[in-house]
Structure 1
Amino acid sequence: MNAALSGPRWSDALDRYAIGLSGLCLVHCLTTSVLVALASTVGGLLLHPLFHEVGLVVAILFGALALGRGAWEHGMLMPPAMGSLGLGIMAGAMTLGHGPNHDEAMWTIIGVALLAFGHRLNRVAFD
């Protein structure tokens, strides 16, 4: 097996990228909320369902790879459990609809925070 794709270093890199992706998602959600209030034209583009569907698929892939591999290597189930809860909340938030009269952004932010926390727990488990 390739040494670059095995062990804690590979999982640690995936977790760092996943945490970064979670941060970008958080920035996206907060920025979109502000932009919707300021300029509905730009907000309409950022609120397109495909944008969120692709983002969720990417988050699921990073979560499965990093958290699954971490659980396999260090044996702790809390990181993937926390990450799965976050992903589930994010997926559920997509059913709420977009806009200022919906709680979609709030639930997405909660899900992203839990997912990032799961990745953080995964990194700590390797220390």
Structure 2
Amino acid sequence: MRRTLLAIRNRLDGAGIILSGLCMVHCVLGAVLVGVLGLGGGALLSPAIHRVGLVLALAIGLVSLGFGVMRHGRAGPLVVGGIGLALMGTAIMAGHGLPEALLTIAGVSLVAFAHIRNLHAAC
């Protein structure tokens, strides 16, 4: 049972890393495609995409990073991930533009780093 829970937690951390990377790609490509080429603004900048992404990031981040603290006793990954998630939430409130992109990229970078540290702390 314990091995199964560890495998699930590791998969959640992996999903968090992938989701962070996809979010960063979406942010950068969205800025390039919309800002430079004027393409895809309606779909790429949809507030629904950002809200769903944040909800997924919150769910995966809090569960996997929280389980990590219970397993290895190190709160650092949870704190760093929490700061990243807060930056992502702030980005949604900032509206579209450079501040949103910078806050999102900083946030997802911290969340991905937290998931990586969480995986390493469990070893």
What is the TM-score normalised by the length of structure 1?
0.90
Residue 56 (structure 2) aligned to one of 55, 58, 65: 58
Instruction: Give 5+ residue unaligned stretches, structure 2.
Output: none
Q: Is the 8 A contact 1:18 1:62 kept in 2?
A: yes
Shift of 1:41: 4.7
Instruction: Give 5+ residue unaligned stretches, structure 1.
Output: none
Residue 17 (structure 1) aligned to one of 15, 18, 23: 15
Shift of 1:97: 1.1
Q: Does the residue aligned with 1:40 lie in a helix, a strand or coil?
A: coil
Determine the C-alpha separation between the residues in 2 that align with 1:3 and 1:63. 20
What root-mean-square deviation, in Å, do the aligned CA atoms of Structure 1 and Structure 2 show? 1.5
User: Is it true that 1:75 corresponds to 2:73 in the alignment?
Assistant: yes
What one-letter code is carried by the residue in structure 1 that aligns with 2:101? A
4+ residue runs over 4 A deviation:
none
Q: Is the 8 A contact 1:71 1:77 kept in 2?
A: yes
Greater mean deviation of Cα atoms: 15-24 or 36-45: 36-45
Query: CA deviation digits over 1:74-99, x for unaligned, max 9?
Result: 11100110000000000001111113
Residue 30 (structure 1) aligned to one of 28, 31, 37: 28
Residue 97 (structure 1) aligned to one of 77, 95, 98: 95
Q: Is the 8 A contact 1:15 1:120 kept in 2?
A: yes
Q: CA separation of 1:30/1:110 partners in 2, compared to 1, >3 Å: closer, same or farther? A: same
Shift of 1:9: 2.5
The residue aligned with 2:102 is 106
Determine the C-alpha separation between the residues in 1 that align with 2:3 and 2:120. 21
Q: How many residues align?
A: 123
